[in-house]
Amino acid sequence: MAKSFYTIRMEFGIAEEQADRLDEIAMDIRRLADNTLGDTLLGIGSAWNSNSSVDYIKKGRKVQEELKIRARELQNTARVIRDIAKTTYDAEMYAYNLAKTRQY
């Protein structure tokens, strides 16, 4: 059975909301990596002077970069969701309009 206009619009809207939520999560992760973790590592560097502090900060920077990579991956996933949702929406609307105008 063909989907209704309402169903097509609702499913597209849900996909858009999910993509928006992924973008929000990505921004939160990036903000944590840049600000919170970055400030913490700077504080550690200022307060802890030893060879082990340098190693600890290097590991922290590696974690910071990994968080940024994961944030970018989430943003890419959100973009793919939007692309697929738009393509699906267009195809379903085409089918809907075709079925609506069909004559028997």
Q: Mean pLDDT across the stretch 14-24? A: 98
Q: Which residue has the higher pLDDT, 10 or 102?
A: 10
Beta-carbon neighbour count of residue 55 at 10 Å?
A: 10
Structure tokens at 61: 């920077």
Entry pTM: 0.83
Structure tokens at 24: 């929000």
Angle at 39 between CA 34 and CA 44, to 5 degrees: 135
Whole-number pLDDT of residue 1: 59
For a pLDDT cut of 90, what percent of the chain falls above it? Answer: 74
pLDDT at 103 > cutoff 80? no
Q: Which residues of 7-18 are buried (b: 16+ CB within 10 A; e: fewer)?
A: ebeeebeebbee
* Per-domain residue ranges of the chain: 11-98
Q: What's the pLDDT tens digit per position in 45-71? A: 888 888 888 889 999 999 999 999 999
Domain 11-98 has CATH 1.10.287: yes
